[in-house]
Structure formats: C-alpha cells, structure tokens
Amino acid sequence: MLSVTDIPIEIFLDNLLHLLPLNDLLSLQGTNKFFAALCSDETFWKQKLSQDFNFPDETTARTSGWKFIYSLFGHGRMGQPVTTNNVPFPLELKFPGTRIVNLAAAGMSFHALDSDGCIHVWGTLNGTSFALNRDGFSESGKVAAAPLKLQLPASIRSISWGRPFRLASDLLNTRDFTPIQVECGWNFSSALTKSGAVLVWLPFSDPMRTAIETKMGEMDNQGGSGARSTDDGLIEWFDNALVGLTNQGHVLLFDSISDVSRGNWQYLPNFSEASRIGNHPTFSDGELKASENFKITHVSAHFRTFIAYSESVVLIGQTGTKPDSKPKIIPGLQNRSVISVVLGDYHYAAVTATGKLLTWGGYSDGALGLVGTPGGFADEAQRVHAMETRRGTPPHVDSPTEVRFDHHRKRPKDRFCISATASGWHTGALVIDLEASIHITFIAC
C-alpha cells in the first residue's frame, strides 16, 4: 500500500508545499526525518521568498540559508526617513508599513523595491542641475528629500537604475528575445534575453537621442505634465564596456559600446579557469589557497572596475583588461562566503553569507561607512573638524573592513545584512535587526 512519502519529491517541492500555510508547513517539517529534509530544501525556500515577498535572487551568489532569510522577512515594520549629506557611518532610513526587499543606487539617488512590487525613490537624477520649488520631477535637478512611492502601471519584480527610459521594441515581443535581465548605465543600458543575445541602447546617440528630445519637447508643451509627489546569466555595464558571464562560468568582456561594429566579446581565461586562478601569486606563493572545483557565478561592474566572483573567490579587473590580463586579488575577500559585490566610483562593498558588510576603497564622502574603525575617522571630533576646515579625509582602505550597524548606540546590537547597493559616492544596505526582527534600511552617503 502506498503512503504519502511515496509521492515523487518533485510533486511536493513544485506543487504541494507551495499550497500550505506557513504554520502547516512548519508542523509538517516536525513530523519525521523525511519531511524535515523535504521542508528544508534550499530551492523551495528560495522560490517561496520570491513568491511571498517579491525577494530578488538574481544579484546574489547565495547557495544556502534561504529558509533563514525567509524567517527574517516573516516579521517586520519600518520607520521614518532620515536624510543628510557626507555621513561616514550608516544612518537608519525607515518606511512605515512597508517591507523593503531590494535596493538599487544611481549616481545621485536611491531606489527601493518593496514586497508588493512598488518602487520608492529619493535623491536626485542630476545633482549638478537645479529645479525650482514649483517644478515637477520632469526636471532632472528636482530633489526628493524623502522616499516617494512611484505610481506605476504594473507590479515590479526587479530593479536596476541608471537613466530611466522605457524601452519598446517589436523584437522584445518574440519568445527568444524575452528579457531576463536589464542593466542600466550612465550613458547606455543593456538587456540579456532568453536566447542569450545582448541588446544595447544608447539614449545620447542618434537616432534615439533625436527621438527622445522630440518627445520631451512635446511633453514640455503639455500643461500640467510635470510629475509631482502626492500623499499616496548575467551582464553588467561599466565605462563604455560590458562584462558577461556564461552558464559555464566563463567571463567575457565587450570592449567598445560606443562603436559596436568595432567591438567584440573577448574571453578572459585568467578570470574564468580554476587552474589559472590557482596559479595566481596570491594563491601559489602564500598560505591562502583557492578551491580546486569552483566556478565563477556572478559579475558586477561600475565606472572603471568589474568584479567576477563566487562564494570562495573574488577577482577584480579594470577597463582595458585583455585576455592575458591577470586579476587583482585581495586576500581579505577570499574564502569569505561572499554572495554579493557592489561598486561605486571609487569605493566597493561585499555582502557575506553570514550577514556581514565589508567595504574598501576611497573615502568617497563617507560611503565606506567606517567611522570609528580602521579606515574611517578615529572619532566624531575628527570628522567634524575635517568638515569645518574642509581639509583631511581618511586614507584609502586597502583591506575590506566590516561595517558596524549600531553607531551611536550605548551597547552593541546584532544585525544581519541581507543585501547592499552602491553607485557614485554613496552606499545603501538592507539590514535585519536580529534581536527584534525589524526590517531596517541603512544609508551611508
């Protein structure tokens, strides 16, 4: 006689378990060893995070711990916004009644995705310009001092922010060219399609530039059209180049976006092959050893730097990298279970599977968030003195250093970093308060 445990595992994981309320799922897990193992399946909890909380997984190299992350999102509340400039330590930014699941940084602004698929924005599209109080947000210099919720026609699944454009093309209506990833840059944006093709659009080059200028002129002549606030696989872009990653862990570089006809995809073996990486002096000449069976799983890029990484290896390259170029390898990032790396212009941040945020690079107006630690101002008095005299900043940080999320507290507080974002001269992190299960977004800028 057949029993319930004779049902194929795929039926449980793909169908039945998704129908159960959370309390019933946890009760089922406690019935016997079979269901204990079944209900702890990493892929199942990864899918459940996406279904229940709209949590994105395409930007992380995390391979385990999805049930733990789900438990953190299961309870939460947000507070009220705080905004300021040149802050070298994390500041708390709260969202009342909203569960934030992802952050994206543009050059001078931040964008947050919540579990309902809504986007909240703050900052400015162009901090070098200005706007009058009566102007709407069609003026790029208009500042949103506190987070504003965008009114969008559809629920959003993931975000990437550079310059905002809606791309419409008959090509995208075909099955093979369905976009699976979009990356937005400062001068161009790109999309990876289901077939593996990469599409690029350049809004500051003709004919797209002329079309945009014409449409903007038409909209400017329409009365009351300025937006105003109300109460209610992988590709990455960097400076005139794209870095790509195949499903076999091979890192590719397209070196000339401004003139696509002259550019081409170049394979980077020193960023891809385990044997070559293992022979890098950082591994071959010291006590640090690279795993023999790893595969690069993610790439990140911004401005003049790109990073290829897995949970055990982090490799850094620059614009101008050639097939025979060797990566820069920072010992403090290797074998650290790094699941995400984000980049600003001159500063960098890595999130580990254990919930730590590590930063290094240039001070960048405080974007490292390291005040009171090696690499930051020694204390608040030194920071204030440097700001008042406009002289002196902390030195460049070569060794990745852990960011504290309990600044100005009387006692240490245990907090877990879910994800991070960076761009320009600022950094943001989505952080969980483990002691009270409170969702917190911290911003350093």
Tens of pLDDT, residues 351-395: 999 999 999 999 888 888 887 655 566 666 776 776 676 666 787
pLDDT at 23: 78
Structure tokens at 125: 């599209």
pLDDT at 441: 46
pLDDT at 413: 76
pLDDT at 295: 92
Q: Categorize the per-residue pLDDT at 431 as very low, low, confident or very high, splitting at 50, 70 and 90.
A: confident
pLDDT at 228: 53
Q: In terms of pLDDT, which residue wins out, 442 or 320?
A: 320
**pTM for the whole structure:** 0.73
Q: Which of 161-165, 182-186, 200-204, 206-210 has the lowest mean pLDDT?
A: 161-165
pLDDT at 168: 66
Q: In terms of pLDDT, which residue wins out, 242 or 437?
A: 242
4-72: CATH topology: Monooxygenase (1.20.1280)
Q: In terms of pLDDT, which residue wins out, 37 or 92?
A: 37
Fill in the amino acid letter for 262.
Answer: R
Distance in angstroms (rounded) separating the CA atoms of residues 133 and 142: 8
pLDDT of 443 strictly over 50: no
Most confident of 41-45, 255-259, 334-338, 415-419: 334-338
How many CB atoms sit inside 10 A of residue 192's CB? 20
Domain boundaries, the chain: 4-72, 166-202+233-335
Q: Categorize the per-residue pLDDT at 268 as very low, low, confident or very high, splitting at 50, 70 and 90.
A: very high
Q: In terms of pLDDT, which residue wins out, 416 or 388?
A: 416
Q: In terms of pLDDT, which residue wins out, 230 or 332?
A: 332
pLDDT at 14: 87
pLDDT at 105: 86
Average pLDDT over residues 203-217: 80
For residue range 220-229, list pLDDT tens digits in order.
Answer: 776 554 555 4
Q: Which residue has the tokens 């690079």?
A: 361
Q: Which of 2-6, 89-93, 206-210, 424-428 has the lowest mean pLDDT?
A: 89-93
pLDDT at 263: 77
**Residues 184, 189, 193, 197, CA torsion sign:** negative
> Quick one: which of 104, 124, 122, 123 has its CA closest to 113?
104
- With a CB cutoff of 8 Å and minimum separation 6, the contacts of 394 are 88, 363, 368, 370, 375, 376, 377
Average pLDDT over residues 268-278: 95
One-letter-per-residue 3-state SS of the chain:
CCCHHHCCHHHHHHHHHHHCCHHHHHHHHCCCHHHHHHCCCHHHHHHHHHHHHCCCCCCCCCCCCHHHHHHHHCCCCCCCCCCCCCCCCCEEECCCCCCEEEEEECCCEEEEEECCCCEEEEECCCCCCCCCCCCCCCCCCCCEEEEEECCCCCCCCCCCCCCCCCCCCHHHHCHHHCEEEEEECCCCEEEEECCCCEEEECCCCCCHHHHHHHHHHHHHCCCCCCCCCCCCCEEEEECCEEEEECCCCCEEEECCCCCCCCCCEEECHHHCCHHHHHCCHHHHCCCCCCCCCCCCCEEEEECCEEEEECCCCEEEEECCCCCCCCCECCHHHCCCCEEEEEECCCEEEEEECCCCEEEEECCHHHCCCCCCCCCCCCCHHHHHHHHHHCCCCCCCEEEEEECCCCCCCCCCCCEEEEEEEEECCEEEEEEEECCCCEEEEEEEC
Fill in the amino acid letter for 272.
Answer: S
pLDDT at 21: 82
207 preceded by a cis bond (ω within 30 of 0): yes
Backbone angles phi, psi at 57, to 5 degrees: -125, 0
Distance in angstroms (rounded) separating the CA atoms of residues 37 and 326: 43
For residue range 8-55, list pLDDT tens digits in order.
Answer: 888 888 888 888 887 788 788 888 888 888 888 888 888 887 777 766
pLDDT at 267: 95
pLDDT at 153: 83
Q: Which of 68-82, 86-100, 132-146, 202-216 has the lowest mean pLDDT?
A: 68-82
pLDDT at 214: 84
CA angle 329, 335, 337 (to 5 degrees): 115
pLDDT at 398: 92
Q: Categorize the per-residue pLDDT at 232 as very low, low, confident or very high, splitting at 50, 70 and 90.
A: very low
pLDDT at 251: 95
pLDDT at 223: 58
Distance in angstroms (rounded) separating the CA atoms of residues 190 and 257: 10
For residue range 95-113, list pLDDT tens digits in order.
Answer: 888 888 888 888 788 888 9
pLDDT at 233: 61
Structure tokens at 267: 């394979």
pLDDT at 301: 92
Distance in angstroms (rounded) separating the CA atoms of residues 198 and 181: 10
Q: What percent of the chain has pLDDT over 90?
A: 23
pLDDT of 57 strictly over 60: yes
Q: In terms of pLDDT, which residue wins out, 54 or 280?
A: 280
pLDDT at 84: 44
> Quick one: which of 343, 345, 371 has its CA closest to 425?
345
Average pLDDT over residues 194-205: 84
- Give whole-number Cα distances, 88 to 11, 53, 241, 383, 429, in Å: 51, 31, 31, 8, 14
pLDDT of 187 strictly over 80: no
Q: Is 405 left (phi over 0), alpha (psi -120 to 50) or beta?
A: alpha
